[in-house]
Structure 1
């Protein structure tokens, strides 16, 4: 479900602009701010399906350059030896998610990202088996990464040089309340509740956000408590659970409980 806010509209505009002009884009922001979801919504529902083919690659800390190359090539259609293109004469857009999670080598290099950089500079690769040239036509990359947190590494400026970097910030309390209020309102209507329970639901959202902010300000991640990392996903999980509540037939109209 997409909540139409100013921030979402602005980011969707820039995404569409970069894709239409074939300019690689990197979206950076804290965990839980919807970076991957914004990309998925744009690629799957906003782009013309007759003109674009889309795919998603989520990197892991241990992925190798050869593995990344194999994954990308497998999503293309082979025309002749060493020449690949997007299926059905479309333009392929591939999202590289968790780009800064790749573990660096002892000297700091991140081979999968260097492989990506090489393609953005030269528009071809070399086959890792026989060193023959591999050309990928009509393909572009967009990327997303978390700007903080465990197992996140600095990316070389040689790689970042090829991306326009946009940042999405943590939402303030009013924005969070609007987002989850609209999401819950739609879900609870579908589950049989009426507008009369809405004051109770708004109080519940405010209390959840208050507890979340208090936990962030009082509980800090340490070597003994590494689990004390809080982001918007924590609120989302609570709201998701509330959205599953169904109104019993015997419940009063202004009562919020279910089964």
Structure 2
């Protein structure tokens, strides 16, 4: 799947660069424009469902989890999934640090990457998530 996304991204990037002369103003927002265009194209051609999340300093892990879960269907009590979900996180490095120096929304995404799910916040049981991919963009 990674090679498919990489090939599709390169194809989109080449067509984008031929149509537009990239200036410094356009370059700042180009990661979002390219990613949105690519994911919308994937949605039409391959049946992926894109989810766009913009991080800011006020973004919480609870809100991030709520947005992701709203797009998933319940397969069983503790298994969530959809056909194919691609979550695009813009400005990944933006959430402010908490008192221990971590960024909770990023820790939630890391937990998904490591363990393929996260805990239910109300009933405290593990939710496994199937067929979800996370992509992100950030400025350094």
Q: Normalising by structure 1, what TM-score?
A: 0.43
Provide the secondary structure at the position in 1 that maps to 2:135. strand
Per-residue deviation at 1:124? 1.4
Which residue number corresponds to residue 58 of structure 2? 62
What is the correspondence of 1:1-259 to structure 2 with a 5 Å cutoff? 12-13=9-10, 32-46=28-42, 48-86=44-82, 90-147=83-140
After the TM superposition, which parts of structure 1 deviate over 6 Å for at least 4 consecutive aligned residues?
none
> 2:79 and 2:42 mapped to 1: Cα distance?
29
Q: Which has the higher Rg, Structure 1 or Structure 2?
A: 1
Q: Which runs of 5 or more residues in structure 1 are unaligned? A: 1-9, 17-29, 148-259
In 2, are the aligned partners of 1:35 and 1:144 still within 8 Å (CA)? Answer: yes
- Change in Cα spacing, 1:39 to 1:53, as seen in structure 2 (3 Å) is same
Superposed CA RMSD in Å reads: 2.5
Q: C-alpha offsets along residues 140-171 of structure 1, whole Å, 9 cap, x if unaligned?
A: 00001122xxxxxxxxxxxxxxxxxxxxxxxx
Q: Which has the higher strand share?
A: 2
> 1:79 and 1:39 mapped to 2: Cα distance?
29
* Length, aligned pairs only: 122
